[in-house]
């Protein structure tokens, strides 16, 4: 009698990222981003004069600015890898990194990940 292989169900994506973007970032980085939590229509980016930003595994996106999700998802990867060091702290205790090379890398990875 043949042994049947078990079909594995895909994980339920609870991150707030589109499925194809999440899997694309995971494939590019080789790491899971299951812990990501996207906060949409959020007011905090405007306080930092930004459209979106990532802090830890949280991605804060201003209303209508979802096009920045691939870039910010890669910033989550960079932070998980321990490569992001805060350069300054804004009011409300938000750490900010302004490393141009990390931003360029996030742009490139974001463009290469399906969204």
SS3 of residue 39 by DSSP: strand
Buried (b) or exposed (e) across 70-94, using 16+ Cβ within 10 A?
Answer: bbbbbbbbbbbeeebeeeeeeeeee
| Nearest-angstrom CA–CA distance, 81 and 2 | 43
Per-residue pLDDT of the chain (115 residues; tens, 9 = 90+): 555 545 555 568 999 999 999 999 999 999 999 999 999 977 889 988 899 999 999 999 999 999 999 999 999 999 999 998 866 666 666 666 778 899 999 999 999 988 6
d(Cα 80, Cα 84) in Å, to the nearest integer? Answer: 9
């Amino acid at each position: 009698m043949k042994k049947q292989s078990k079909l594995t169900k895909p994980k339920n994506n609870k991150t707030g990222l589109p499925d194809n973007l999440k899997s694309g970032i995971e494939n590019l980085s080789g790491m899971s981003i299951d812990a990501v939590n996207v906060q949409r229509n959020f007011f905090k980016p405007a306080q930092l004069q930004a459209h979106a930003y990532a802090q830890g595994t949280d991605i804060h996106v201003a209303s209508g600015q979802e096009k920045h999700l691939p870039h910010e998802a890669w910033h989550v990867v960079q932070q998980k890898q321990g490569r992001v060091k805060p350069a300054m702290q804004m009011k409300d205790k938000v750490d900010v990194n302004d490393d141009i090379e990390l931003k360029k890398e996030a742009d490139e990875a974001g463009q290469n990940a399906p969204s």
